[in-house]
Amino acid sequence: LGLARRAALARAFATEPAVLFLDEPFVSLDEQTAERLRHLLLTVWSARPMTALMVTHNLREALMLSDRIIVLAPRPTHVLGVFDVRLPRQHRNSQVMSDLLRSFHHRFPDVT
């Protein structure tokens, strides 16, 4: 599965899209493989910045990779709010991630 995801990411980047769409790109992967793919994604992004729209249910992953998180509510789907992550990705260590999670849950207490 990890190899298939790497190939899918490679195909997506090969077309040099204006917007990269990622739908649960790391779901069903073991943590080690998911971490390698996240690192690959960040490496490619740093070499070739582009806009990406990622759908994920993994909040930690969203906070780690995103500049802005749009929080959606289920049925009827609507926007609950926007959470901006203004810290450069290279500074998002475990302590910072804990602070971001706390801040996110303070703002959106019903989102798990």
- 23's tokens: 């739908």
User: pLDDT of 27-63, one tens digit each?
Assistant: 988 899 899 889 888 888 888 888 999 999 999 999 9
Residue scoring higher pLDDT (15 or 106) = 106
Residues 49 and 72 in one domain: no
In this prediction the pTM is 0.83
Does the pLDDT value for residue 1 go beyond 80? no
**Structural domain harbouring 41:** 1-55
C-alpha distances (whole Å) from 69 to each of 33, 64, 74 are: 24, 11, 16
Residues 27 and 78 in one domain: no
DSSP 84: E
What's the full length of the chain, in residues?
Answer: 112
Residues 9 and 41 in one domain: yes
Give the chain's domain count. 2
What counts of helices (H) and strands (E) characterise the chain? 4, 4
Q: Which band of pLDDT confidence, cut at 50, 70 and 90, is reported for residue 97?
A: very high
